[in-house]
Structure 1
């Protein structure tokens, strides 16, 4: 992998199999893979108290919902910040 730069303000990229890929994209893919692996490795059940009721769910489902909620919130904040 060779590092390429096309200008002083261009984002850092790496060449992977003949394609320029942003370093940020590679980092996001690695983090997503680790998150999926972590969710798949945690298969036990947990009890969660939602104000009044207590719900028992598999831990992987709780982690997946938390991951999706975090991604949605992060995407919303990223887009909102970009509009300024």
Structure 2
């Protein structure tokens, strides 16, 4: 299974959690995905693919609070990568 698929699967699983561990689980999934990428460009593209895959697989949640959280979280990560590059 690719790092992208693993990340999306973990984010899907986190979408069902109702306690405070959601953020740490999402961060862990994204950290693992970023670690599998060798360049900043690959990281940014992988994060875009994660959101695209998540929003296609979970259309009902893409505009819900969790989906908006994921979109914002991935956007912050991409911005951080771009400022460091």
Structure 1 or 2: larger helix share?
2
TM range (shorter): 0.3 to 0.5
**Higher relative contact order (Cα pairs below 8 Å, separated by 6+ residues):** 2
- What's the TM-score once normalised by structure 2's chain length? 0.35
